[in-house]
């Protein structure tokens, strides 16, 4: 994580280092533990409720769809109620949705609850990214963002392991109770911590600037319009990264099921992949800060795209483990890259609105990945969907290689009329 002595000089008034670390990383590891428990099992549980393979992928895709729909409202909610209350509310609603899964046995109600899970996740993610963007010095930004992503991965690594134990005793629906309990713990941790007084105005705006009519009338739509060039260039690369990442969470469990691997073993395979991610998130941040964003973004996308394209060749548990582990290496090294790129190009004025739009754009990719699996599987086969994902990933490689500089950092986005 970022150096404590350096960060102490950049914290808001009255905010101690301990409070900063709790606010930035504490609730995340609790939420991610529950997230990691259920995410690899969403498609499997849908299959258990009577869905076919295409429908199961579609249900799993609803997490990304919920993220997508809630991105812009999440920015408004966080601004209106504050980070603490918005986060706690999201955790409580998520806990209710997850616990309800244990008691219902209807596929479409389950799909609705998965969608709600995606909505609450968007509020949580946006608040975390904005907080670190304005709180951490630029020279440590990638390490701070990769640490946030790494904390999420630690929870996602431990979650499947705990889920495998719970399933042995309480069967598949039991993991949703476990995930709901972790959301309650995250809500309690959020309510117990002091308010994080990190606001855009206290960081970058002066009283004189606040009198400027252009700043006072900033809206999400005006920011997106002014910075559309950034979103339509490097944003496309970020979209491809999100698409590949979200797709791997769905296609690996489905591929395991198609090859006769049990849900408990599937969770172990997923945990192996997460273990690789946990080991490599901080080295990836160091590389991004010292050498540049290109040297992590492009190589890791090459790795993940190539592995997805090769997945149809793996039919044994051991080969699937090897490919999953390699996917984990690529995703672990690139931990926090989307948040880092978004923070780099975010404008000084209207940063929260821009980051909400940036998350919307990247979440299009997150929701598109599972949808592509669903559509291609229905039209052809699950193996064909893996090849299509690999091709899309390589298109993202070319876009990122062209737009991310090999030396230095990305410059903040300039508005265009």
pLDDT in tens, 50-70: 999 888 888 988 987 888 888
Position 13 pLDDT exceeds 80: no
pLDDT in tens, 119-178: 998 888 887 777 677 667 777 778 878 888 778 877 777 888 888 888 888 788 889 999
- What's the whole-model pTM score? 0.73
Task: Say which residue, 389 or 83, is predicted with more confidence.
Answer: 389
Which among 405, 32, 27, 19 has a CA at the least distance from the CA of 234?
Answer: 405
pLDDT in tens, 253-271: 899 999 998 887 887 887 7
The reported pLDDT for the residue numbered 207 is 39
Question: Six-digit token pair at 287?
Answer: 């590389």
Q: Which residue reads 């918005």 in tokens?
A: 86
Which among 395, 376, 394, 398 has a CA at the least distance from the CA of 385?
Answer: 376
The answer for residues whose C-beta is within 8 angstroms of residue 148's C-beta and 6 or more apart is: 24, 25, 28, 128, 129, 132, 336, 339
Question: Six-digit token pair at 95?
Answer: 């806990």
The ranges assigned to domains in the chain are: 13-194+217-403
**pLDDT class of 197 with cuts at 50, 70, 90:** very low
Q: Spell out the alpha helix ranges (H) of 259-293.
A: 263-291
Position 294 pLDDT exceeds 70: yes
Topology of domain 13-194+217-403, CATH: Growth Hormone; Chain: A; (1.20.1250)
**pLDDT class of 17 with cuts at 50, 70, 90:** low
The reported pLDDT for the residue numbered 182 is 93
What's the rounded mean pLDDT across residues 198-206? 39
Position 417 pLDDT exceeds 60: no
Task: Say which residue, 222 or 254, is predicted with more confidence.
Answer: 254
């Amino acid at each position: 994580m970022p150096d404590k002595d350096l960060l102490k000089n950049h914290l808001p008034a009255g905010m101690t280092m301990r409070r900063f670390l709790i606010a930035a990383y504490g609730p995340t590891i609790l939420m991610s533990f529950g997230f990691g428990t259920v995410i690899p099992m969403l498609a499997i549980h849908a299959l258990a409720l009577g869905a076919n393979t295409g429908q199961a992928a579609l249900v799993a895709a609803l997490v990304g769809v919920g993220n997508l729909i809630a991105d812009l409202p999440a920015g408004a909610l966080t601004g209106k109620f504050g980070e603490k209350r918005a986060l706690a509310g999201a955790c409580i609603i998520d806990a209710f949705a997850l616990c309800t899964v244990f008691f219902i046995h209807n596929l479409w109600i389950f799909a609705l609850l998965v969608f709600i899970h995606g909505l609450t996740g968007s509020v949580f993610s946006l608040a975390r990214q904005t907080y670190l963007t304005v709180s951490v010095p630029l020279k440590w930004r990638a390490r701070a963002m990769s640490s946030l992503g790494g904390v999420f991965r630690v929870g996602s690594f431990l979650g499947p392991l705990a889920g495998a134990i719970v399933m042995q005793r309480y069967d598949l629906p039991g993991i949703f109770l476990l995930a709901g309990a972790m959301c309650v713990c995250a809500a309690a941790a959020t309510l117990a911590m002091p308010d994080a007084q990190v606001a855009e105005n206290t960081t970058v705006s002066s009283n004189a600037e606040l009198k400027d009519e252009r700043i006072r009338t900033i809206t999400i739509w005006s920011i997106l319009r002014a910075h559309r060039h950034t979103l339509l260039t490097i944003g496309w690369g970020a979209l491809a990264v999100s698409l590949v990442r979200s797709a791997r969470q769905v296609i690996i469990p489905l591929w395991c099921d198609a090859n006769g691997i049990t849900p408990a073993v599937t969770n172990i395979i997923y945990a192996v992949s997460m273990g690789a991610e946990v080991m490599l998130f901080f080295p990836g941040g160091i590389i991004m800060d010292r050498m540049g964003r290109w040297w992590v973004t492009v190589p890791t996308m090459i790795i993940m795209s190539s592995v997805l394209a090769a997945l149809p060749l793996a039919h044994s548990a051991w080969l699937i483990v090897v490919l999953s582990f390699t996917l984990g290496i690529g995703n672990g090294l690139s931990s926090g890259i989307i948040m880092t790129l978004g923070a780099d190009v975010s404008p000084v004025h209207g940063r929260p609105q821009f980051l909400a739009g940036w998350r919307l754009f990247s979440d299009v990719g997150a929701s598109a990945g599972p949808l592509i699996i669903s559509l291609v599987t229905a039209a052809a086969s699950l193996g064909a969907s893996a090849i299509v994902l690999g091709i899309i990933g390589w298109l993202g490689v070319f876009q990122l290689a062209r737009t991310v500089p090999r030396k230095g950092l990305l410059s903040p986005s300039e508005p265009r009329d």
